[in-house]
Structure 1
Amino acid sequence: MTTAPLVAVAHGSRDPRSAETIHRLLGVVRALRPELDVRVAFLDLSEPLLGEVLDAVRADGHREAVVVPLLLGHAFHARVDVPAAVADAQQRHPDLRVRIGDVLGPDPRLDAAAWRRLLDAGADPDDPELGVLLAGAGSSHAPANRLVADVAARWQALTSWTGTVATFAAAAAPDVPAAIEALRARGARRFAVGSWFLAPGLLPDRITDLATAHSDRPLIAGPMADDLGVADLVLHRYDLATLEVPLPALA
């Protein structure tokens, strides 16, 4: 029996650094499991799109595929866009069975990847005058924002920092200036920004610009995507999905 290809689908971005980072992540995934057919897809703004990749999977003779969303929470893309793209592909290919894996978050491997990036940027867990922002995209779906806040709270419990707060680039509060002012009011004299982003792009750049404008030389962590732990998590989501009942073929 042929193993179902892993189709990893990311947001997509006008910023070419984003797709480059996702491709590097999938390179790590392939290195961890060389025998697996691993394909990259995007929901928008980058190519190839998810529907096009599923078309290619069927054209290559496969009857099954596993889609793993490279998304950090259950926001709109995960709840609406991914299932819709899969359903459209199955309309075109009624004999194609598709499993959709879970999103990447929450998972301790994501926490650890973001933590490593922050330490790499120079954050000292024993610095009592350091205020830390954990920056995410922001969503109108409150549970997705709460996931970021929960990670920030766990970090606070492990460190001597003045405080650790979640902050968002859009659609949710607090924004970066408000988060910095709140930490400053609690006594923070230095600032660091952790990244709850998989890849660079316009929103992480906005976070960096705001942090730099509202504090003196903040430490800025890089995104998580090509971390070994994230690659392992992608494979874990694939493995779990293969144990579940696939979305049935339409004929």
Structure 2
Amino acid sequence: MIPLVAVAHGSRDPRSAAQVAALVDVVRALRPGLDARVSFLDLSAPRLTDVLAGVRGEVVVVPLLLGRAYHAKVDVPAIVHEAGRRSPRLSVTVAEALGPDPRLESAALRRLTAAGVRFDDPALGVVLAGAGSSDNRANASVAAMAQRWSAQTGWAGAIAAFAATVQPDVPAAIAKLRARGAERIAVASWFLAPGLLPDRVYTAAHDAAPDVLLADPLGADPGVAELVLQRYDDTLRASLERTG
């Protein structure tokens, strides 16, 4: 079976690497016998470069990224290209990033439910908080998700907010929801794992709304693990079709 190398961004917060490892554990449990390995782009070990250096033959790299932004478009392909240059016996195919995908959205909603959110609460405003990107399309996909939630639930509204790079930030989003009549606030996490940016989001939300409901990052959700395997399978299928 061709190895799967999952690559996450990485963080100085050890909880992040632990959560990514837990997700890959679920992937292994769903597909016994699959050689599924963990790697990171930066800040955590092992790095993708080092993991690929230890592999020979074919391998599929699955970016554990929630959007198709800079890391997915530039960083991962550049590392893979350099790994192939150093080791001609290595053949790497890169899968699509995890997001956007309805299974991630469902996982985020499950995390909200676990935090105590009811979907028929007309006094609730929900902030969908993500990292923020220099790629406007990645930000737009998060905003579109929040708009769907506004239309499909009984909430006072849902608004996307970002920890960095773009607006609105979390306090501004909470203020907008208050203006729409929200009496209670919840924050949905558009992060895969804990770390500096999720903590920044949670602190800002608690400062603006002390009784806020905080949902956990997507983490080792079985739906996310199934999506990782789907990206792996789709990549293998496309590779077979290209080679005839």
Name the structure 2 match of 1:83.
Answer: 77
Residue 53 (structure 2) pairs with residue 55 (structure 1) = yes
Contact 2:129 2:190 in 1 (8 A): yes
Contact 1:67 1:101 in 2 (8 A): yes
Residue 154 (structure 2) pairs with residue 160 (structure 1) = yes
Structure 1 segments unaligned to the other structure (5+ residues): 247-251
What does 1:174-213 align with in structure 2 at a 5 Å threshold?
A: 174-213=168-207
Q: Which of 96, 100, 110 is the matching residue for 1:106? A: 100
Name the structure 1 match of 2:210.
Answer: 216
Number of residue pairs matched by the alignment: 241
Structure 2 segments unaligned to the other structure (5+ residues): none
Contact 1:190 1:216 in 2 (8 A): no
User: Aligned equivalents of 1:39 and 1:78: distance in 2?
Assistant: 18
SS at match of 1:41: strand
User: Aligned equivalents of 1:21 and 1:216: distance in 2?
Assistant: 27
TM-score by length of 1: 0.94
Residue 121 (structure 2) pairs with residue 127 (structure 1) = yes
SS at match of 1:195: strand
Q: CA deviation at 1:244?
A: 2.3
SS at match of 1:231: helix
TM-score by length of 2: 0.97
Q: Which of 2, 9, 12 is the matching residue for 1:11? A: 9
Residue 182 (structure 2) pairs with residue 151 (structure 1) = no
Runs of at least 4 residues of structure 1 off by over 3 A? Answer: none
Alpha-carbon deviations, 1:18-59, whole Å to 9, x = none?
A: 00000000000000001110000000000011011011112x
Q: Which of 54, 57, 64 is the matching residue for 2:58? A: 64
- RMSD, aligned α-carbons: 1.2
AA paired with 1:156? S
Q: CA deviation at 1:94?
A: 1.2
Alpha-carbon deviations, 1:108-159, whole Å to 9, x = none?
A: 1101000000011011111111110000000010011111111111211221
Q: CA deviation at 1:232?
A: 0.2
